[in-house]
Amino acid sequence: MENKELIPNLFRTEYQKIVSVLCHLFGIQHIEIAEDIVSDTFLSASETWAIKGTPENPAAWLYTVAKNKTKNYLKRHTLFETKIVTEIKYNTPINNPEIDINLSDQNIADSQLAMIFTVCNPCNSDEAQIALALNLLCGFGISEISDAFLSNKEVIYKRINRAKEKLKEENIKIQNPNSIEVKDRIKTVLKTIYLLYSEGYYSASQNTTLRKDLCAEAMRLTFLLIQNESTNLPETNALMALMCFHSSRFEARTADDGEIILYEDQDQSLWNQELIDKGTYFLSRSSTGTTLSKYHLEAGIAYWHTIKEDTAAKWEHILELYNNLIILEYSPIAALNRTYALSKVKSNKEAIIEAEKLNLTDNHFYYSLLGNLYSELDIQKALQQFETALYLAKTDSDKNIIRKNIAELHFKMKQ
């Protein structure tokens, strides 16, 4: 992999790990210093590797340079020498006078867990917590977060900065959560990871359909929660199951040229059975206790989509799960997806009636669905829906699918 691809990939996977360890070490008051040190580390990588070539172990190189830059910073700055270093040394074993910048796998995991629950502190609004977590823990840029929130960049930039300042004002400690903190904050933590996975699963901000690196990061963070006893909850396992089921169809979901392949056209032999089995395992683990979250229902829907036989019973199960989902936690997209399941169980006419009630006139998926539903009933009306969908679509892949549908309808009219 060339440096122009390698460094952004490493930034996505390693940046937040090192920042979490340094923030854990320095405290929330000095979050910008931690970010600056890590950003400078990646700048050094870009400059050095361009001249000397990529090291044998790029991640280890980054960790070593980050450690050295941190130690140099501590030596140079009086503020750290007189205040922060004293506090760090106070918490360091007496037989280890050297400050330990510990970038072991275990300390990274502990630091990230502590950071997740620090960032998702109720002193900030849910939206501010999620935006800050996506930026700080997951390496999201401002434009990606603004797309995820359907907001503009300036609003997100201000929201993130205000969230950081609020954590400082409240003097929030970075530490592993106790049982009460887990109960209070786990909903926001899981929502943040869910948004991360969703951006990877369908990324309009990057004009690409699938970003496997983001999906893998979301799964890694969820597994980190599952490995910790206090956060190994039914809803955490349900979220992992959901992601496993969706990820199992990745290889069948895109063509060699990157174009999206719709569910009904996928090569089922490319579905990853190992991930389906893992999803089934985590879904089973999520069934303990009395908790029923949206992740349980969405995982159930995703499970039935991994069943290869296209039977009436399959779509009846999916429709029932969607019915429960929109009662538990309504969203326009869930309601829209429900209408497709309704068309499979009932008829296109009934699905059109339900879909048009939603009136999602700013969403290209709404018009694409109507186009598909009308295709067997009224070709002219179907073409109108697809033309509107084409106007609203953002990604090249979405536009290409819509153009293909339009071309097929024109061909059908000529027959």
What average pLDDT values come out for the chain (415 residues) when binned by 10 residues? Answer: 71 86 87 90 91 90 93 74 53 46 86 90 86 83 77 90 92 86 89 84 56 81 92 96 95 79 88 96 93 95 94 95 95 93 95 93 93 92 94 87 91 80
Instruction: Check: CB of residue 67 under 8 Å from CB of residue 87.
Output: no
Instruction: Check: CB of residue 228 under 8 Å from CB of residue 206.
Output: no
pLDDT score for 249: 93
Instruction: Check: CB of residue 309 under 8 Å from CB of residue 256.
Output: no
Q: SS3 for 18-51, per residue? A: HHHHHHHHHCHHHHHHHHHHHHHHHHHHHHHHHH
What is the rounded distance in angstroms from the CA atom of residue 189 to the CA atom of residue 133? 8
Residue matched to tokens 């009934």: 350
What is the rounded distance in angstroms from the CA atom of residue 17 to the CA atom of residue 21? 6
Phi first, then psi, for residue 254 (nearest 5°) are -130, 145
State the burial class of residue 154 (Cβ atoms within 10 Å of its Cβ: 0-12, 13-18, 19+): exposed
Residue 147, CA distances (Å) to 156, 203, 395 in order: 10, 9, 13
Give the amino acid at 174: I
Residue 338, CA distances (Å) to 40, 200, 330, 369 in order: 48, 22, 11, 11
Nearest to residue 195, comparing CAs of 163, 156, 234?
Answer: 156
Portion of the chain with pLDDT greater than 70, in percent: 91
Residue 293, CA distances (Å) to 16, 307, 336, 356 in order: 28, 22, 20, 28
pLDDT score for 95: 37
Q: What is the DSSP letter of 80?
A: I
What is the rounded distance in angstroms from the CA atom of residue 371 to the CA atom of residue 379? 9
State the burial class of residue 190 (Cβ atoms within 10 Å of its Cβ: 0-12, 13-18, 19+): buried
- What is the Cα Rg of the chain in Å? 24
User: Which stretches does DSSP call E strand in 111-160?
Assistant: none
pLDDT score for 195: 84
b vs e for 271-296, b when ≥16 Cβ sit within 10 Å of the residue's Cβ? bbeebbebbbebbebbeeeeeebbbb
pTM: 0.82
pLDDT score for 326: 95
